[in-house]
Structure 1
Amino acid sequence: MGCTASKVEQEDTVRRCKERRRHMKEAVASRQQLASAHADYLRSLRLTAAALSRFAQGHPSLAVSHHTAPVLLTTAAPALAPTPTPPPPSSTASSSLPPPTPLLPKHQQAPPPPPPTQSHQPPPPVAVRAPRGGPRRLKVPHILSDSSVASPARSSFRKPVVGTPSSSSAWDWENFYPPSPPDSEFFDRRKADLEEANRLRELEEEEKARGYLHPHHLKEEDEVDDDDDEREEEMHCGGWEDDDDHYASTTTSETRSEEGEMGNRSECGFAARSEYGGTAPSEYAAAPLPLPLRRRDERSEAGDSSSTVTAAAEMRMVIRHRTLAEIVAAIEEYFVKAAEAGNGVSELLEASRAQLDRNFRQLKKTVYHSNSLLSSLSSTWTSKPPLAVRYKLDTNALEMESMEGKSHGSTLERLLAWEKKLYQEVKARESVKIEHEKKLSTLQSLEYRGRDSTKLDKTKASINKLQSLIIVTSQAATTTSSAIVRVRDNELAPQLVELCFALLSMWRSMNHFHEIQNEIVQQVRGLVDNSMAESTSDLHRLATRDLEAAVSAWHSNFNRLIKYQRDYIRALYGWLKLTLFQVDSNIPQEAYTSLISRELTTFCDEWKQALDRLPDASASEAIKSFVNVVHVIYTKQAEEMKIKKRTETYSKELEKKTNSLRAIEKKYYQSYSMVGLGLPGSGRDGIESHSFDARDPLAEKKTEIAQCRRKVEDEMTRHAKAVEVTRSMTLNNIQTGLPGMFQAIAGFSGTVVEALDVVCRRAGSVR
């Protein structure tokens, strides 16, 4: 019997099913460990932030030097889809545009933005979408044409007409909203606008003849401003005249001539228009610092005659912190955001207790109390302790859960159960086949010898029975294998793709926040200690110990997160690769190797290789080095506290001896004099009765006090040096340890984003 069992285990199909069961068992265990490591990693981010904040609050004297450069931060979201850019307006489109909207009255105009004071290139025009009915518009620099580079900047304020959607855009309305047919009033306004444009050009030529350069102003329908209003408008746009050459666009002379015909069309308003017809909101004008924005669209190589300037996908702001506490407070904020970025992956991995409790909705809890019977689906307890708690399976909840869809953990659990069942069925089938082969050999031997027909009939009956068992076991194995294939293709494949995309989104957000932290933490290189004599307290040492423990836990959870993720994908890939082999030779190979299964196996293979190539060792070493740095600070603080305690001990001893000596002098000599020896009773009879001995009997005590005083002074000197060393060591270690750690973790998260991005591109075929 043992020989038959060993022979069954050596069968390729049985051995393959055993390997499949082992890989799936490892995948289930790795998923649980990955969920735990993921939750611990997110928790360690928050704990590290809190510990770092407490540590920084204990060092208020660490201030940032005034010579330290400020930080330029990106305030946009980490993953923004690029906005489609509309094509530039053609000459025919510009000639048929509806008339511009009227200018705002002077009392409604917002104050102009401050002129740029920096020497670098000023920001390009902003083009972001604003509410259609917003009364305020942002003043932006004018885009000059090639034919008028020396012309000053022009600016105007627009109030969009709420009548039709087509009037909300000044240049690209036809790509989004169909225009309404013009009426007779349109041509009347156009004629008036042309006359007004001619008058403005004549005024501009007269002013140029006098040697003054004034920006011409675009009028609207029936509004005609006098010369005073025109000069007031020039004051609004004058802040942009410092660097006119930076605002020159590539508009051709044809566009310039068309704008001459349509003189009421403000080029400043053209630059402020967004892709969808809105103008830039006024919040950017109220920003404390004018910051550069990126130009996203440039002139095409095909020689397009106009340039398209759109809004930057991100805004930048300058930040300068004053102390280490402020720097760490900003870092703590992004630690919390990075931890929140992993909530989506936590839901997929079922890492929280609430998600685990939701998996038990099919269980109906019955709580038995002494006075009543409470039946509830929730876990609400009464004030009295229950006598007994019983659970009962709710089939309705199971059906509802199957309709809503299984979770990733339950899918793996069911696959493991199917794999165990498949292994037993394939093993039983192969053992029956081996027994069938033995009976066939016996039958052949009996027929060859021609003896005992009774044995021959019994052997034939056994063979028929074994053949029936082979059919039954084969059908059972085929049914189980088909169920596994169905769960693999319909449930596991989309869940793995969703998990990969969730991890990509998480690491992209974390990379964005860690990059910001890396930029902020560079300010610690400019820290100076304004109070080197501040001693270390027990609270300082406790905060340092907590920081070391928190960062050490972060390091451990980081290694666990990467390790279990690799183990999980490696186990899944091993199982998927084995599922491509057929379990039953009678079933064609195509039933197991579907397109989804092949693509899913390739997808997991690339995922596994991407995880294996991650440089997690460098990031782990960077975090570990910061743990060592904090440990050195903690050790120096311990040495300082030891010297401080010894100094306090010697000081108390000196005070005790000094008080003892003074008590003796006061008791026997009614004096605090430290020289001579007065005889008993000599202090009250007058001066003539005073007599002093040549020797001082308290000389030994005074010598002891002097020696003790020297010890105290020496220990105080050592303590002062220890304080200085501790403060200097703390400052140097913070300046070298923090930037290196955040630089490494930001670089690692960026590498993960690049690797997972390539893997997710492969997921399209799996879907």
Structure 2
Amino acid sequence: MPSISLGFVDHSARVMQVITWNRSFKGIPQPEQVKNELDDAEGETHATVLEKLLAWEKKLSHEVKEFEVIKMEYQQKLASLNKKKQRGVSSSSFERTKSAASHLHTRYVVDLQTMESTISEINRLRDQQLYPKLLELVKGMGHMWDAMYKHHKAQLKIISELKSFDISVAARETSEQHNERTVQLWQVVQEWHVQYSKFMASQKEYVGNLYSWIKLNVIPIDTNLKANSSQPVETTPPIKRLLHAWHDMLGKLPDEDARKAIHTFSEVVHIILVHQDEEIKLRQRIQDTRKEHERKSRQFEDWARKYMEKRAGIPPEAGNPDGTRADPLAERKAAMEKLENSLKELEEAYTKQCKVVREKSLSLLRTNLPELFRIVSEFSLQSAAMFKDLWSISNTNDQLDD
């Protein structure tokens, strides 16, 4: 049963922060309303079961606070009654105090019974609704990781076979489509890393919060009553054994290795993207320089034709008496040759960059892809095994309870 104290910790509230649901709980149910259509286990979702547990936990918290107030008042009245009895006060004063103490004792017992009723409902929800939902989750997660392992194993086999793949017939340049696909791959791997991290963190947080709550939930009530107690002898519920094992196994799961492998591959793809961007920028510079060269070539040809027509029939000495003036034709030819040399240098740098991109990309992918799928396939296998073990524990729980 849940622990009863003034410092009641509402672990259910923390649990509910990890799960989102679609419908809200309309008020705290009354005992006569417990058996209604909302309690149909088949119609409940994992989230709505938690929602109901939270509502009952809040109800219990309120009842505990009221119980502690009555308990304190009752103890004070008993102390006052004992003092009056020792001092031998008048019969009327003693009887009034005794009557007040009796009234508080009645409220004390009624409040205790109310709490026990609430605790009984919490335990019913815990064992008959939450526990089956957790088993469904364990079974579904086991199937999911088993499927993930098969897919990652197949991916590893394909990638391993690509190590000897001949890329000599592949395109030597990075096309726009190729670059777009690389960007898409990088974004997908980044999102994979983010979602994987969130998934593992949420699972650990959820199981951790549930386990913290269940450890308090199964602590018997301390009512300080000396009379006969209606509390049964508490046994460890199956849900606690399941959550204990789940919490322990999650802590041993090497999820950090998979997270690092995904993050590393994301950085590898980004490195490839950087090289591709340099290649594309060089290609754009070549295109711009080639256009400039074509434009200036046409201008030079037009100018040279007009220049030669103008110079036709004029003696060389007429326009250059001392013969020291530079030939404008030679100057413009030199400028054109310089532009042609710049274009050739860019083309050589581009060819070299294309080769670097191809070789670097192939080397990085051949090295990191097999390692990535090896690690995630191993993690998937270990995760699938973990949930199979948890399922086995639940079957053992059923046998123990029988």
Question: What TM-score does the superposition give when structure 1 sets the normalisation length?
Answer: 0.46
- Find the partner of 1:590 among 229, 232, 246: 232
> Which structure has more RCO (C-alpha within 8 Å, separation ≥ 6)?
2
Change (3 A) 1:724 1:418: same
Residue 430 of structure 1 deviates from its aligned partner by 1.3
Asked whether the equivalents of residues 478 and 584 of structure 1 are also in contact (C-alpha less than 8 Å), the reply is: no
- Find the partner of 1:434 among 72, 75, 93: 72
Amino acid in the other structure paired with 1:29? Q
Partner of 1:707: 338
User: Is 2:223 the counterpart of 1:581?
Assistant: no
Residue 690 of structure 1 deviates from its aligned partner by 6.6
Q: Distance in 2 between matches of 1:598 and 1:639?
A: 63
Partner of 1:630: 269
Asked whether the equivalents of residues 524 and 734 of structure 1 are also in contact (C-alpha less than 8 Å), the reply is: no
Partner of 1:730: 361
1:123-175 CA-partner distances (Å, limit 9, x unpaired): xxxxxxxxxxxxxxxxxxxxxxxxxxxxxxxxxxxxxxxxxxxxxxxxxxxxx
User: Is 2:5 the counterpart of 1:14?
Assistant: yes
- Find the partner of 2:285 among 646, 655, 666: 646
User: Is 2:151 the counterpart of 1:513?
Assistant: yes
Name which of structure 1's ranges 428-437 and 536-545 shifts more when overlaid on structure 2: 536-545
What SS does the aligned partner of 1:528 have? coil
Residue 443 of structure 1 deviates from its aligned partner by 2.9
Partner of 1:45: none
Matches within 5 A, 1:153-168: none
Residue 505 of structure 1 deviates from its aligned partner by 1.7
Change (3 A) 1:533 1:407: closer
Question: C-alpha root-mean-square deviation of aligned residues, in Å?
Answer: 2.7
Asked whether the equivalents of residues 599 and 765 of structure 1 are also in contact (C-alpha less than 8 Å), the reply is: no
Q: Distance in 2 between matches of 1:493 and 1:30?
A: 17
Residue 554 of structure 1 deviates from its aligned partner by 0.5
Change (3 A) 1:458 1:542: farther
Name which of structure 1's ranges 443-452 and 712-721 shifts more when overlaid on structure 2: 443-452
Asked whether the equivalents of residues 135 and 391 of structure 2 are also in contact (C-alpha less than 8 Å), the reply is: yes
- Find the partner of 1:26 among 14, 18, 23: 14
Q: Distance in 2 between matches of 1:608 and 1:700?
A: 82
Amino acid in the other structure paired with 1:564? S
Q: Distance in 1 between matches of 2:6 and 2:382?
A: 39
1:498-554 CA-partner distances (Å, limit 9, x unpaired): 221221122112212221221122122112322577322333322212211110110
Partner of 2:48: 410
- Find the partner of 2:374 among 737, 743, 751: 743
Asked whether the equivalents of residues 26 and 571 of structure 1 are also in contact (C-alpha less than 8 Å), the reply is: yes
Amino acid in the other structure paired with 1:612? G
Amino acid in the other structure paired with 1:484? I
Change (3 A) 1:745 1:567: same
Asked whether the equivalents of residues 614 and 752 of structure 1 are also in contact (C-alpha less than 8 Å), the reply is: yes
Partner of 1:205: none
Q: Distance in 1 between matches of 2:241 and 2:259?
A: 29
Q: Distance in 1 between matches of 2:213 and 2:170?
A: 62
Residue 403 of structure 1 deviates from its aligned partner by 6.8
Q: Distance in 2 between matches of 1:488 and 1:475?
A: 20
Q: Distance in 2 between matches of 1:452 and 1:661?
A: 129
Partner of 1:718: 349
What SS does the aligned partner of 2:260 have? helix
Q: Distance in 2 between matches of 1:527 and 1:445?
A: 97
What SS does the aligned partner of 2:84 have? helix
1:10-67 CA-partner distances (Å, limit 9, x unpaired): xx72257x23x22x222222233xxxxxxxxxxxxxxxxxxxxxxxxxxxxxxxxxxx
User: Is 2:166 the counterpart of 1:528?
Assistant: yes
Q: Distance in 2 between matches of 1:651 and 1:440?
A: 103
Matches within 5 A, 1:45-444: 356=22, 399=37, 402=40, 404-444=42-82
What SS does the aligned partner of 2:59 have? helix
- Find the partner of 2:204 among 539, 555, 566: 566
Residue 449 of structure 1 deviates from its aligned partner by 3.8
Partner of 1:285: none
Partner of 2:253: 614
Q: Distance in 1 between matches of 2:215 and 2:232?
A: 14
What SS does the aligned partner of 1:747 have? helix
Q: Distance in 1 between matches of 2:165 and 2:269?
A: 17
Q: Distance in 2 between matches of 1:620 and 1:729?
A: 24
Asked whether the equivalents of residues 551 and 623 of structure 1 are also in contact (C-alpha less than 8 Å), the reply is: yes
Q: How many residues align?
A: 376
Q: Distance in 2 between matches of 1:729 and 1:589?
A: 72
Asked whether the equivalents of residues 533 and 723 of structure 1 are also in contact (C-alpha less than 8 Å), the reply is: no
Asked whether the equivalents of residues 532 and 723 of structure 1 are also in contact (C-alpha less than 8 Å), the reply is: no
Change (3 A) 1:426 1:647: same
Q: Distance in 1 between matches of 2:331 and 2:88?
A: 127
Change (3 A) 1:447 1:588: closer
Q: Distance in 2 between matches of 1:453 and 1:424?
A: 38
User: Is 2:296 the counterpart of 1:657?
Assistant: yes
Q: Distance in 2 between matches of 1:409 and 1:400?
A: 13
Gaps of at least 5 residues in structure 2 are 27-32, 318-322
Residue 481 of structure 1 deviates from its aligned partner by 0.3
Amino acid in the other structure paired with 1:590? P
Question: What TM-score does the superposition give when structure 2 sets the normalisation length?
Answer: 0.85
User: Is 2:389 the counterpart of 1:758?
Assistant: yes
Asked whether the equivalents of residues 77 and 97 of structure 2 are also in contact (C-alpha less than 8 Å), the reply is: yes
Q: Distance in 2 between matches of 1:651 and 1:454?
A: 116
1:363-407 CA-partner distances (Å, limit 9, x unpaired): xxxxxxxxxxxxxxxxxxxxxxxxxxxxxxxx9xx7277274422
Q: Distance in 2 between matches of 1:708 and 1:520?
A: 48
Asked whether the equivalents of residues 183 and 273 of structure 2 are also in contact (C-alpha less than 8 Å), the reply is: yes
Q: Distance in 1 between matches of 2:305 and 2:90?
A: 132
Gaps of at least 5 residues in structure 1 are 1-11, 33-349, 351-355, 363-394, 671-677, 683-688
- Find the partner of 1:697 among 328, 339, 356: 328
Q: Distance in 2 between matches of 1:739 and 1:620?
A: 15
